[in-house]
A and B are shown apart, each in its own frame.
Chain A
Amino acid sequence: MIKIKNLSHIYNIPRRDPIIALKEINLEIERGEFLTIIGSNGSGKSTLARHINGLLLPTSGDVWVKGMNTKDRECLWKIRQEVGMVFQNPDNQIVATTVEDDIAFGLENMGIDRENMLERVNWALQVVGLEEYRRFEPHLLSGGQKQRVAIAGVIAMHPSFLILDEPTAMLDPRGRKEVIEVIKKLNQEEGITVIFITHLMEEVIESNRVVVLNKGEIALNGKPKDIFLKVDALRSFALDIPQITELAFRLNHKGLKNISPSTLKVEEMVEQLCLYV
């Protein structure tokens, strides 16, 4: 479990005014959850993520991972093994010359024996669906595939929690789909707790819970269905409403009460519209 209590973070940049990136955040993340953190640029999403594995330390407040405080230097390495992190740009995360070497990199640093390492690499390759690419040079892969290599490298270390900081932002729609599918699978089949960060509303649909950040504070916290009901609030946080949700919202307001204003998927909308037209 992850527990965040009264967490604030202030960036002190020399010769500039301090920036308050996080203000009194309180959040608990349970095992097995698929939590999405959404917010526009500058809302504090990435800052929050970096607190969960101790890349940043609180200006005030505390963060505990499985009871270990990130301020406790003794625990830092243990925490980072428990909380794996995948970043936005796949090119910045790949270090080795072949896919399998790249996935093994973290394991080598952990001093895992060869047999165990092979087993873990094979498992990770299979989970992200890249078995036939194991001997490829990473630069020959597509963006979506590279991002899956980065994910494989992290899960090979068997973390309990996986944080993904806008892993789809630099990908095309096909790459996006691939990555989302893998994340879903990791959560549902492998039982990894997922903390997924995005600024795209379309991508929150698969998660159990959504936290909306606005200007460093938690503005909304709830199930996707309930969050999507708050179209006006979301818009005021500079978030985009998917076309379908916007259409459902408008039609509902025009008196079409059988159309739920929190419709998220095209198929749902089609079903509901069939009642009317």
Chain B
Amino acid sequence: MLEFLGIFTTVEFYIAVVQMTTPILLAAMGGLIAERSGIIPFGMEGMMLMGTVGGVIGSGLTDRVEVGLLLAMLAGVFIAVLYAIMAVSVGANQVVTAVALNMGALGLSSLLYVLAFAGGKGEVIEDVIRVRAMPLWKIPVLGEIPFIGKVLFNQYPLVYLAFFMAPVVWFILYRTSWGLKIRAVGEHPHAADTVGIHVLKVRYLTLIVCGMLAGLAGAFLSIGAFNAWQENMTSGRGFIAYTSIVFGRWEPIGAFLGSFLFGAADALQLRMQTQNIQVPFQVMVAFPYIVTVIVLVLSGKSAKWPAASGEAFKRESK
């Protein structure tokens, strides 16, 4: 038990917490914008998966991380646009579409990886291919602060972006006219439509933003905290990001806290596994989900699930 508590005294643990939070937070912020406009962002898992492979291909082929990030965003947007075509234009069931896209992204990411690094033609990639990963950016003065500097201000650029996104998303949703439009479309698409808001366009745009952020979240896994790619690299983090949104009751601050909770549980579990501590770490992993269910049940009807979320908008239907 003492060993277990010992984890909390190490700086590495807190650095890991921040780093495990990052991909979840990035995706959750993208997903939140999409969900507030009325689209359940279940497809984030697929967007993130494509982001992981986009990042590794861009960085691996050009040896430039920026190219990797750009490709990761494009790859995420690719899935997002497919999602938008199905969920927004066709009006298909969003959850089913997302299941299909996540499955497709699982296959497509593997295919692209082999195509990029084995030149196609059925070669099997035996070794792990190492690519250039993001450097750590030390913030000048703040990075010198003893403990906090190491944990918060000597991190990867995407970490800063992720933590910066939470207030930005809040600001966009609640302090700008775009945010008002997004929320209107998510709550009362027909009312929004009658006042001249282009519902489908708003939903397309929010999904594209979601794709970009989820793509970056994926890239953080492959060329941020790590420098290589594995099949199914996200292993459910897209869903975790979604759960964070639910945990946060569809509010940016809440989703931020949710991501943090999941990130911390993830980091704790990893540290416990590497140090071979005999405390059932499954409890740690399940804990945030259990809390989420409790939050959901306790908040009851007051949870702000966007009223029109999951429903396709059809102009003529009433």
- Binding between chains A and B: no
What residues make up the interface of A, taking CB atoms closer than 8 Å to B? Answer: none
What residues make up the interface of B, taking CB atoms closer than 8 Å to A? Answer: none
